[in-house]
Each structure stands twice: as structure tokens, then as C-alpha cells.
Amino acid sequence: MSFLQKDLFKHKTGHSSLPSLPNQEEEVIEEEGDTFGNLGPAVYEAPATTEKNAPIFVFHHGAGYSSLSFALCVSHIRRAMEGSVSILAYDCRGHGATRTSDDTNLSLERLSQDLADVVNFVFGGEGEVKKRDIFLIGHSMGGCVVAHAASNHSIPSVVCVAVLDVVEGSAMEALSGMSSFLRTRPTEFKSIEHAIEWSVKSGTIHNLASSRVSIPSLFTEESDPNTGMSKLVWRTNLAATQKYWEGWFIGMSEKFLASKAAKLLILAGPDRLDKPLTIAQMQGKYQLIVLPDVGHMLQEDAPDRTANALVDFYKRNEKLVLPLKRLTL
């Protein structure tokens, strides 16, 4: 049993409204005592409203982001599915509102096990999860996590896997410039408004409405020791996760293609596709969708188009349940 799962079973659950995600509840799991800090995993769940065993769309965000990067996309999905879908998104360890007993371990194995632990905890264990169609959706680093989980069958009943804007080959090539990017990125902001403005002007997020929802969850407030004034700093120290970067992406294409589930890859540009996935796409091993006029945060830049692509893909690949016919002897 993982650290995260142990933490989950030690917590008590409370519910509060989450204005930024219509019809969604925020499940903040509070620790009894202060051994692991004030918060456990922050889980955002929107249950289905029309059927008991509706499919479950599970979202995993990228490194340095939070589950709220899917907020607007989720709203579109729920409308398109007319309530016949359960939504699960959570801030992984070391991100957003989540606090665990080991926030620094962001290895692929640990994150993949966390994903399975959270799904099983929220939906009542493997026995209950097996009754549902599971659609795993991951962005960037989260794409590596869902591909890993799907390939090792740590979550039962996975019928679809979608990876958003991450490809092993191009990701490995980009790692050499990641440290330089982090050094040039602002380390603090005076206010959330300044952070939102930076996210749009820098091209990190192209959609102001989505930025207003997701950006606040990426920061924590600190007091400046020199001035005594409060300032906002990044919740996740991405530079400190460098030792995990290669482990996230190495073998990702092989794991993605090895999954028995239906597979979807959504990219922000065709130039991001590497050779192995190009060959596999020509062989029909997965579906490729390229969204024009979006950046890396494609689910924030075009939440409606991303949602439509995910819903259409699921509907084409959901399990077909035929009615039983009685035999007359």
C-alpha cells in the first residue's frame, strides 16, 4: 500500500462547493492531526446524474499544473454527455492543494500507483471500479502517468486512454532546454492578477477565462523576509523534480501503444510527432487529432474542442452492452 493510500485511509472527508467547476464537488481530505500537514489529496469529483454505473473520465494534469487546468474542458464534457458521466480529477502529490507524507517523490511508478489508489478510494475499490468504463486522460507528464497505468493494468476496466500533447521523442529533446526556461520564468508575483496576466502575455495559456480558473491553484503565499509584504511563489518547485524528468518520458510511446485500451493522442501541432508514433499511426494503432491554433495547454486554450474530441472518441469505443434474450426450449 502506498504512502498516498495510507494517508487517504487516515483522513476524514468533507465537501464544499467549487465555484469554478459547475456542478462539481471538491473533496478535501483533512488529516486528523498535523503529521502530514493540513491537507491530504485534493480530489475534484463530479458524479453522474443519470445512471449508476456511468463511465468515469479520470484526468491527470501535467508537471507544475493542477487539476483545475481541466476545469473548462470538464464543463463542456458534462454538457456533451448530458450528465451520463462521472468526472474525477485530482492534484497529484506536490501540486495544488494536495499534501501527502512524501510530496517530493514524483517518480513515474509512485505517480502511477497514486492514480490507481485515488480511483479505487473514490469509487469504492476494485470491485466497484470493474463495473464502470474507465477513460484515462493525461496532459504532458500526466500523459506519461496514464500510459504507464494503462500498460501495467493497475486500474481495471480501462477502455480508453488519451494523451494530450506529449510525445516521447520530442519531450526528450526538449528536456535540455527546460532548466533554461525555469531560470527565465518569474519566481514570484505580487498578486494573482499579475500571475494571470503573465500566463496570457507569455503565451503559457492562450485563454484568459481558463487562466483565471487554473492559475490561482499553482501558487502559495509567502511573506517576504525583507519587506514583510506577502508574495506569491510557485507551489511546485519544478527544478527540484529534474531527477525524474527522463523517467517520466522514457518508454512512454511503447507503454502507450502496448495498452489494450482504445488510444487517442491529441497534439498542438503535427511537428511534435516522433518516428515510432508516426509509424504506429500509419498502421492504425491509435487515433491522432491535431488541434490548430493552440499551445501546449491545449485543454485550456480550446476546452470545447478538446472536450468534443474526448467525448466523440469515448462514444466510438465504449463497451457495447446487448440486451439478453431468453431462449425458448
- Catalytically annotated residues: 140, 165, 296
Q: Find the Cα–Cα–Cα–Cα dihedral 199, 202, 204, 209, rounded to 10°.
A: 40
3-state secondary structure of 1: coil
Round to whole Å and give the CA distance between 41 and 90.
7
Round to whole Å and give the CA distance between 154 and 150.
7
Hey, how many other C-beta atoms are within 10 angstroms of the C-beta on 130?
12
The answer to whether residues 85 and 118 touch, using CB atoms and an 8 Å cutoff, is no
List, in sequence order, every beta strand (DSSP E) within the chain: 12-17, 25-30, 39-46, 56-60, 86-90, 134-139, 158-164, 188-189, 219-223, 230-234, 262-267, 287-290
The answer to whether residues 255 and 109 touch, using CB atoms and an 8 Å cutoff, is no
